[in-house]
Chain A
Amino acid sequence: VSTNRSSTTVDISEGPTTKHNGQLVLLGSRCRACSTYEFPPQTSCARCGSKMDATPLPTVGSVWSWTVQRTRPKRLRSEEFEPFAVGYVDLGPLKVATRLSGRPAAEWRIGQPVELATPSAGDTTAPPYWFQPADGSSSISRGNS
């Protein structure tokens, strides 16, 4: 997938990630006029209405807010449910909503450094992406804790 394909061909139903330099990254969009970033990609900018181009998003950032989802969301894909942490991760030009893994759910704090993670090929139960500790303290590479 080319990240500079025409913005009019972006289909958000493809999922939140795309291959970039051999790695799965989040696919967002950037406004040609005002440089606003959005996620998932839109064809026109929420700020100024100009055209947007699809673009890969940064893969590291910090926790901007967090909470624990302690009840099963009605539309959760996975049948199994254990409480999980969610949050917004500040990636610089924007913040993205995400699951947070790799640390006990109630022990996340604002400001902690995190990095993007994606499920291994064929894993259909994991969320399509999540963020995990980027300071080397993560004890697991994938999980919903």
Chain B
Amino acid sequence: MNVSVVGVGLHPFGRFDISGREMGLIAARAAMADAGFVWSDVQFAAGGSRDSGRADALVSELGLTGVPFVTVYNGCGTGGSALLTAAQAIESGAAEIALAVGFDKHERGAFGSDPVLYGLPEWYAEAGLMVTTQFFALKLQRYLHEYDLDPRLLAEIVAKSLRNGARTPHAWRRNALSVDEIANADMVNDPLTKYMFCSPSEGGAAIVLASAARAKQLSERAVKLRAVEFRTRKFGTFEVFSPWLAEEITEGPTTHAARAAFEAAGIGPDDIDVAQIQDTEAGAELMHLAESGFCAHGDQAKLILDGELEIGGRIPVNTDGGLIANGEPIGASGLRQVIECVWQLQGRAGDRQVPGNPTTAFTQVYGAPGLSACTVLSR
């Protein structure tokens, strides 16, 4: 892909007194300033938000330039969809400068979902079966059983994310907890305790993309977007909001998206220096590590217990604390992952900077009802 990231902007994640829309505007302006652009330079935009209004309505404050602005929504994967749409506009030649933006501000507590929007009957929700946290637990419980993994690994993952979050100024949860505190906390959906889930939160994120040729003239620190691949589920996968599962369970959308992204980029998981992986809960990180190709299914214990996922480890994962420490403003979350990788590759990650001048990065975002978007980036 001949597309580069030339500017990034983030409104911190957490709880704030301003609207989600304002956080989107702040992030978009920060990204344009980082790139050295003004709004009228932007030739194409894409963005999304679940609860804070239409992304394309940002033009009334950014400026009514007539720019084509596509509003996207793909659940928790919305940020990935915005980036894909903007990147493809550049790759196609339709634009030389494009903006991807996402923002959100959610109510407290787990997301409630309307079965009708997913083509599901009311009784499924009324019986107490249409609950995202329940799905995560059911998928994880089966996974731990099939691969004989110790549930304590989940607490190790969260402890790592919170340690990283404590070093990250834009993160929401900045207090480290011990593995015991996490493992022994109140159970929400067995085997997941309350500290093992991310919470809906607030924030904004924006990325300015340019054609590789244009980026070279603009900035020495531009980061190449080598691949962005998006996949929905194939038959037989185990996804959220499923009243039934097939006789044989097949590889999920992350496996396919990650494989396609590495193929398009021409490098493999072993070449990656830093990664941000969707950790809606600790089990998601556990499973997505293998689905993304960083280890075989069932081999996660070594990565986790030997410290390979730590900042300074072989393949640092969720260096800004991931969703566990940042919470999830749905529209912005997938873009935050890419921004963190860009900062890491540019050496701008402050106290959480991965040592050794990382040159390659990977991101993976997953959303309902079964989709995944992965990117490969390099300096």
Select one of A28, A46, A88, A127 contacting B128, CB under 8 A: A127
- Cβ B112 vs Cβ A74 within 8 A: yes
Inter-subunit contact B130/A73 (CB<8 Å): yes
| Chain B, residue nearest A75 (CB) | B125
- Indicate if the CB atoms of B130 and A75 lie closer than 8 Å: yes
Chain A residues in 8 Å Cβ range of B133? 71
A110 touches B128 (CB 8 A): no
Residue A145 at the chain B interface, CB threshold 8 Å: no
What number of B residues sit within 8 Å (CB to CB) of A?
A: 36
Chain A residues with CB under 8 Å of B138's CB are 65-67, 86-88
Could you mark each residue 93-119 of chain A with 1 if its beta carbon is under 8 Å from any beta carbon of chain B, else 0?
A: 111111100000010001000000000
Q: From known contacts A96-B243, A97-B242, infer whether A67 and B141 are also in contact, taking CB-CB under 8 Å.
A: yes
Whether A64 and B142, one on each chain, are in contact in the complex, defined by CB atoms closer than 8 angstroms, is: yes
Inter-subunit contact B127/A77 (CB<8 Å): yes
Chain B contacts for A28, CB-based, 8 A: 244
Number of A-B contacts (CB under 8 A): 113
Q: Are A97 and B129 also in contact (CB < 8 A) when A64-B142, A67-B141 are?
A: yes
What are 19 contact pairs spanning A and B, CB under 8 A?
A12-B121, A37-B247, A38-B244, A40-B121, A40-B244, A64-B142, A65-B141, A65-B142, A66-B138, A68-B187, A75-B115, A75-B126, A84-B128, A86-B129, A87-B138, A94-B244, A94-B245, A97-B129, A97-B243
Q: Which residues of B contact A (CB under 8 A)?
A: 110, 112, 115, 121-131, 133-134, 137-139, 141-142, 145, 186-191, 235-236, 242-247
Interface residues of A (CB under 8 A from B): 12-13, 15-16, 28, 36-40, 46-47, 64-71, 73-77, 84, 86-88, 92-99, 106, 110, 127-128
